[in-house]
Amino acid sequence: MPEPTATRYVALSGGVDSTALALLLWERGVLFDVIFSDTGAELPETLWMVPQVARYIGRRLHVVANGSFFMHLAGYGFLLPSPTCRWCTRLLKQTAQDAFLARGGALELLLGIRADEPRRAVLDRRPRCGTHRFSYPLVEAGLGKREVKELCERHGLLSPVYSWRSNTSCFCCPFQRIADWRGLLRHHPDLFGLAEEWERLSMAAKESGFTWSRGRTLAALRVADERQLRLWPEPEDEPCLICTV
């Protein structure tokens, strides 16, 4: 694992919020490094975008990991993550970041929560390991969804994934919208096929037939027509902050 070299770190996911956060601090002349948690289930667009942002702002990029998504998935007996069992965020994002920051002592982690996300700001204040503290500069600056997107667009750093997907979470995120799964099938059919196979293995291992999306399988989604898709409600749960910022 790389060694910490700064006192402040922006948690960068390649998404619009964390990219806007990095740009805001860079414009203000704040010194910081960038930290990215590689889950092993990232979209290709994310792995392209993260170094682009770091290079543009001239900040050092630290990539951390705590194993891969597939490693933990197999270890859990193909128990898919869900709203009631978010093992993916804890193991693949938070644990990796905490272990890295703990090596540097009392450090500051800056997170891309927007000013128009009060509920997520409260949810994110969960106990974490280590001595590092958390800051929310976008909240302090009063930047909402429209402002962060405009900031990224002004610098030409809005991820191309937003042309077909609502966020930059893992390709198999259980909080995806139906439209996101359909976009994955269209743009990355190989990744959709992999998620479908993991779902099949999960269903074979559990009598309850646990799937990525409540009440439906990816196989069914793949063969459904537009009229059927409109009848399926979108999931109400929100993705974890650290997966989407």
- In tens digits, what is the pLDDT along the chain, a chain of 245 residues? 676 777 899 999 999 999 999 999 999 999 999 999 999 999 999 999 999 999 999 999 999 999 999 999 999 999 899 877 888 988 999 899 989 988 887 689 999 999 998 666 544 544 455 567 888 999 999 999 999 999 999 999 999 999 999 999 999 998 888 899 999 999 999 999 999 999 999 989 877 667 888 778 999 988 886 556 565 555 555 555 556 55
CA dihedral 80, 243, 219, 182 (to 10 degrees): 170
Buried b (16+ CB within 10 A) or exposed e, 56-91: ebebeebbbbbeebeebbeebebbbbbeeebebbbb
Model confidence over 43-77: pLDDT tens digits?
999 999 999 999 999 999 999 999 999 999 999 99
Compute the Cα dihedral for 79, 84, 89, 90 and give only its sign. negative
Return the DSSP state at 162: G
Q: What is the pLDDT of residues 209-244, one digit of tens each?
A: 678 887 789 999 888 865 565 655 555 555 555 565
Tokens at 92, concatenated: 């693949």
| CATH 3.30.565.10 corresponds to the domain 8-161+240-244 | no
Return the structure tokens found at 191. 């990744």
The domain limits of the chain are: 8-161+240-244, 178-231
Report helix, strand or coil for 245: coil
| 70-75 LR contacts (CB < 8 Å, sep 24+) | 70/40, 70/41, 71/40, 73/198
How far apart (Å, rounded) are the C-alpha atoms in residues 140 and 115?
A: 7
Which tokens is 72 given? Answer: 């933990």
Please give the model's pTM, rounded to 2 decimal places. Answer: 0.86
Position 119 scores a pLDDT of 61
Let me know the angle formed at the C-alpha of 21 by 19 and 26, rounded to the nearest 5 degrees: 95
